[in-house]
Structure 1
Amino acid sequence: MLRGRKALVIGGAVGIGRAVCQAFACEGASVGVADRGWPGEKSSIVAELAASGVEAYPDEVDVRDEASVKSVIQHAIVRFGWLDILVNNAGITSGGAPMQNQDFELWAEIFATNVNGVAFGMKHVLPHMLERGSGRIINTSSQLAHKPAPSHGAYCASKAAVTALTASVAQEVARQGVTVNCVCPGMTDTAMLYKGGASFVEEKLKALPIGRPATVSEIAATYVFLASDAAAFFVGQSLSPNGGDVMW
């Protein structure tokens, strides 16, 4: 489905991003795995992908820093010759707090990572994709953008911003061959889920129709679809693999 395609996954060392790298490689894509830190995890996933027969390499990026994001994208273009797919997946959350107890230094950190990082990625890949007349940008939002949870205002607001930003930019570039969409995962069995606290996880599971969190591979399948030719008519969409948390 993606044979011959060149992809850069920002936030690809662990969790959903790692599964996306694996799924892209399984479909034949070459993959750049970029993240902040996680040196062992980056090395192991690159070795795994290379062993499967695709080109893969690790890279370091801090999505809070525009120059760092620009550099990692330019490196991917030079390394591969071109870039077909960019996944903006880097994100952080917190343990949560009611609004009156919000730590606004942490709030700013969440927005710098979750929103600015996505914006920087789109800004610096678009000139290349628009020049080529083709490209797929896939941003990671969250089901909490559509169904916000109490005491997680910073994370919910940041992901709602990603969803709105995706739709805005998608309208700018769709007629020039570039699609921009986002994935809004529901509860997923990653380390980030449990940062919300045990009570948050317990309450969400009680209300979830499927009764369990997703595996990362179940979420990654949505990214493969959006990166493929089959998704050519998807523009500015929020695809929601969420186990029935929100239905429409």
Structure 2
Amino acid sequence: MRSAVVDLGGKVAVITGGTRGIGRQIAGKFVEHGASVVVTGRGRDAGERAEKELGVHGPALYVEGDVTSRSDAERMVDSAIGAYGRLDVLVNNAGGGAAFAPLAEMTDDAWHDTIALNLHSVFYATRRALSYLVPQGSGRIITISSMEGKHADPGMGPYAAAKHAVIGLMRSLAREVGPSGVTANCVCPGMVFTDLLRSQGGAIAAAMGMTFDQLVTVFTERSAIRRATTADEVAMATVFLASDAAAAVTGSAWSVDGGVTCC
């Protein structure tokens, strides 16, 4: 049921990496709350499936592309204008790790690929979105960072660096565009059991010198709520930041990690 507090009726949102995992959950919640969405990704099968499933509840469009490509990222943002005639919200959700290893063993390619996916993509899409949002005098930029953007674990150097960086980028942007009615915020999830975590979790754990089961135990025990964060919890925080009710929330980095980074 749609909440009047977080009503997104009439809004148009682009959600990068919106065909699976946290991004897919965000897209679903946006549609449930009245928004029209563009979801982006690199897998056509997953994208077409997401478009069909989301379309049952409201307007949804899948756009294929690679967010690390400037031209693709810009085309993804532009597609909202072509499909719906406006843009109100950009959710920079696409991200992940190209490789996990101690810094002394990190390859150049792993470093550059991780920074490109988690930081450069945010820059490309955000810059394009601002060309629409600032002139219309309203809008929301929401970037999915991570608990690794507030602290850092071994073996995750480039990922942690990029997730710290996007928080700084959004805080600087908030100062730049605040008077124009545009807000810029981050959401910092804790451990969320997505297909991406399941596929990369072993490598993350190995880089930290443990098994995947031990990794889950460590992060769960760090949490004040003693469990993993759910994609739905992350999505609902994002929905609120996209709503009119969050007009005075900007430059923030919301922890949705069960208290992992509370102290």
TM-score by length of 2: 0.90
Alignment of 1:74-89 (within 5 A): 74-89=78-93
Partner in structure 1 of residue 258 of structure 2: 243
Deviations, residues 46-93 of structure 1 (Å, cap 9, x unaligned) = 1122112x1111101211111111111112112110001111111021
SS of equivalent residue, structure 1 residue 154: helix
Q: Which moved more, 1:59-68 or 1:22-31?
A: 59-68
Counterpart selection for 2:243 from 215, 228, 234: 228
Counterpart selection for 1:125 from 120, 123, 129: 129
Deviations, residues 16-50 of structure 1 (Å, cap 9, x unaligned) = 0000000000101011111122x222122211221
Deviations, residues 120-177 of structure 1 (Å, cap 9, x unaligned) = 0111110111111111110111111111111111111110011111111111101001
Partner in structure 2 of residue 161 of structure 1: 165
- Deviation at residue 94 of structure 1 after TM alignment: 4.6
- Equivalent residue letter for 1:131: P
- Equivalent residue letter for 1:178: V
Counterpart selection for 1:9 from 10, 15, 19: 15
Partner in structure 2 of residue 21 of structure 1: 27
2:152 aligned with 1:148: yes
Whether the 8 Å CA contact 1:93–1:192 is kept in 2: the answer is no
Partner in structure 1 of residue 37 of structure 2: 31
SS of equivalent residue, structure 1 residue 47: helix
2:227 aligned with 1:216: no
Aligned residues between the structures: 246
- Equivalent residue letter for 1:62: D
Whether the 8 Å CA contact 1:193–1:201 is kept in 2: the answer is no
- Equivalent residue letter for 2:47: K
Distance change >3 Å, CA 94–CA 71, structure 1 → 2: closer
Partner in structure 1 of residue 3 of structure 2: none
Q: What residue ranges of structure 1 are gaps of 5+ in the alignment?
A: none
Whether the 8 Å CA contact 2:220–2:226 is kept in 1: the answer is yes
Whether the 8 Å CA contact 2:92–2:125 is kept in 1: the answer is yes
2:49 aligned with 1:44: yes
Whether the 8 Å CA contact 1:42–1:58 is kept in 2: the answer is yes
Whether the 8 Å CA contact 2:151–2:261 is kept in 1: the answer is yes
Q: What residue ranges of structure 2 are gaps of 5+ in the alignment?
A: 1-6, 206-211
- Deviation at residue 234 of structure 1 after TM alignment: 0.7
Q: What CA RMSD, in Å, does the superposition of the two structures yield over aligned residues?
A: 1.3
Whether the 8 Å CA contact 1:35–1:59 is kept in 2: the answer is yes
Alpha-carbon separation, structure 2, partners of 1:231 and 1:75: 25
- Deviation at residue 202 of structure 1 after TM alignment: 3.0
TM-score by length of 1: 0.95
